[in-house]
Chain A
């Protein structure tokens, strides 16, 4: 469980590519024992942030502190304690899975190959002796996952980890992540799969055009700031306009809206509508995510 001991602290982190900002003054913290989801569409700055966290890119300004040590001065030590699964896990050449895991372990100074429990959970027995280039994308991804966890890192950075995995294996992997987190380890997970993030993450950050637009617990994000409003009208209205509400979808006289801010003006306005029925179900992460994007597109 999360212990409020920061494992990753990012302060005013900025990365410029020439004159354009890849990410712009972002701040967030990830605590020990937490699964932190990092959301954003392509080009939002997710990969840039991950590469900065791994010291592959150097920041234009700002600070990255991992395990309470500045990253650049302690890069090697920090990377020793981290695991990483890139978005496009690829190994060129004629290596088998076993050889690659052996190589990865040796660079980390380990003799033990792989992570037996994970190999079983991911149903990878018998596949490790085959050449990686002959394996399916899903199996390659499993090898990538094992190399990220094989040295029992305290922090694991995962970029789209479940691409190509079948639903049963995904389920096993999610359970493994929960167990791994309960051992006091931290997981930073970047994903497009909002259901996945909603299912396993404690907190999420949403990044848009290089800027962080939200960073809080899923619970807070859902309960405190956003509500979904489903309403059915008795008869059509010219234009449905409610304070603080944004239309997500409409089917005949049924409307789905996402509501932000004060609820009282909205309730007053609802009283003026020919209402058949209305409910306030909890919004899905996808709806919140879309809300942020639509809201910011209107900026």
Chain B
């Protein structure tokens, strides 16, 4: 068992077999989470540092819990308390943490490629917990796990991703992952929030939400950030809501009756999604969060097996 790689940096360089292995292991991990005593000794003696240079609640807590469930020792370092503010470079910060004999670093950073930059220069395993608008591989894996539980196969599954695609690392990882699994993807956003260069991704796109909704198995809603208005990507939030907010009314009128709704969180109620839908039986939002802990346990386990028992070759 184990992944024969030091780091987990993106969905881009994961094979389908590796994705399957992560998901299968995550299903075992999920079982631990249902026990009355939710802890296994698997990673006893392994030290994990969570380096979060960007605010995060959900992902940081999810990783921290995953580490605790597997009995790893963990430390958290956030930008606010770090020496980054004192002018230390990212690499120096990471090397200092590594010098404390840390085995795994979970890195969240606002700039694309930062975990890749560190991975190349560190002995410790690096897990990308979100790098700028580039990738968020653990989010995509937990989404894929959530979908897998609800559908027998990914082949020809029709998924629409709706919202700020351009600035979303979740969308990039999700597109890469779902394409690998065989799903069909449609992106829906106003033109200013959709990249001009979509061809290499092999996806369809549609500006109109009404035209996007029919026939889809899953609607994956992205969070819209309020700053986009100041950067003139949107004339106003009000106008975004008018055209792109998923309301109960639009859902009933245009979408299939069996459609399921996903969202990476945190949700802006009343902006990209109506409260009534977020809380409805259509919503998988909280299932995604549960899968998140299991997937992160799985990744921590699979990456450290190489360290504990050597690489496959």
Q: Do A and B bind? A: no
Interface residues, chain A, CB within 8 Å of chain B?
none
Interface residues of B, Cβ cutoff 8 Å to A: none
